[in-house]
Structure 1
Amino acid sequence: MNSKVLRLNKAGTPIAWLSWQETTTLLVKDLVIWSIGDTIYTVKGGYSKTGRRSSLDLPSIIACDGKVDNHAFTPALSNGLLFARDQQMCMYCGLEFPVKELSRDHVIPTSKGGQDRWTNCVTACRRCNNRKSDRTPELANMQLLAVPFAPNRYEFFYLSNRDVLADQMEFLKARFSPNGSVFA
């Protein structure tokens, strides 16, 4: 089974993507305080004296008790997440490319004081990145197609899992930030 279970804290904030084994452990230890979503897998157990087989339905989203972290969340910037945020589209020419043909572009080049952070980085094809070179988009006469933004926690969890199920997507998407226009 490739599908992951979305683990939340008791406030409904995403904490982790879990395997079916990790989810089973939390359910059996009675550490899940609530769950939502469809059953994504049924774990079959052993047989009782009466010949009945035990089973455990795994929901797609579970919440566990524990500390609620209300601190601001900014995920670490990586090319994989950046390219996913921008949907593998060059933010200059608007064409989609395979990952191996993409690069990270600093809107304000690092040599000009720009920082390596979400709000200063976009996905660019190698051709556009070379054309822009060590200049701002204005100086290179190139227009950005979208404003770079840092994904919130919910957007990060969407970006970090290739196989998000429909009910998980519905839960996460309802909490996407308005500036996350790429996800619309």
Structure 2
Amino acid sequence: MKQVGSHLRTLVLNANMQPLSWAPLSVWSWQSAFVAVHQERVIQIKTYEDCIVHSATQSFEVPAVVALRNYHKRKRVGFTRYNLFLRDEFRCQYCGHRFPVKELTFDHVVPRSKGGGSNWSNIVACCSKDNLRKANRTPKQAGMKLLRQPYAPTGYQLDAAARRQPLVNGELHQTWMDYLYWGAELED
């Protein structure tokens, strides 16, 4: 048996057996999941092999995957830097290159000085070079072209974008894989 550390995480699925969220991936500490299982708020789907916790009189398996008992309806998508970059798939919307989050900025398509707002339909992910080149002008004035028009994404669209992003496999436990790749093509 392995010593259970605080580093273990539990994948949280909605009642439809899909991750509650993809970006960030819905995980709880194993302790929170353990409490939720015993309060019957979630169903334990899978446990970690060889990971047992002990009380004075009992032994318990550590949950690796849990599912909510009741379906959790999606909330409105928050207008955040990360969600904006995720919507645009971490690509500059002018040059089309992918960038790490720390190298991306956001650009007002219609500059604020020209009446443009800070909202989903006027802001795009942009690299620093193109942001400086565009400056305080519209794309047309700067002789630049947007790859696609900005839009307000739904939660489903952001989840789809998140599934297209490479996952850092070191963060994913093998027991989760059956629940993360439902959209992958099956092999012959």
Are positions 1:79 and 2:81 aligned together? yes
- Unmatched runs of 5 consecutive residues or more in structure 2: 1-6
Relative to structure 1, the CA distance from residue 12 to residue 94 in structure 2 (aligned partners, 3 Å threshold; closer, same or farther) is closer
Q: Counterpart in 1 of 2:69?
A: 64
The one-character-per-residue Cα deviations of 1:43-102 (angstroms, maximum 9, x if unpaired) are: 5122787xxx73335253511348x657x6121x22233223323221101122333332
Secondary structure, aligned partner of 1:55:
strand
Letter in 2 for 1:6: V
Q: Which has the higher strand share?
A: 1
Q: Which runs of 5+ in 1 are unaligned?
A: 175-184
Are the counterparts in 1 of residues 107 and 123 from structure 2 also a CA contact under 8 Å? yes
Q: What SS class does the counterpart of residue 91 from structure 1 fall into?
A: coil
Look up the match of 1:101: 103
Cα distance in 2 for residues equivalent to 1:109 and 1:8: 40
Q: Is the 1:92–1:144 Cα contact (8 Å) retained in structure 2?
A: yes
Q: Are the structure 2 counterparts of residues 23 and 155 from structure 1 closer, same or farther at C-alpha, using a change threshold of 3 Å?
A: farther
Residues 35/47 of structure 1: CA separation in 2 closer, same or farther (3 Å cut): closer
* Aligned partner of 1:147 among 138, 146, 149: 149
**Aligned residue pairs: how many?**
163
In structure 1, the partner of 2:38 is 28
Partner of 1:46: 54
Partners of 1:90 and 1:25 lie apart in 2 by: 43
- What is the percent sequence identity of the aligned residues? 30
Give 1:118 shift. 2.1
State TM-score, norm by structure 1.
0.65
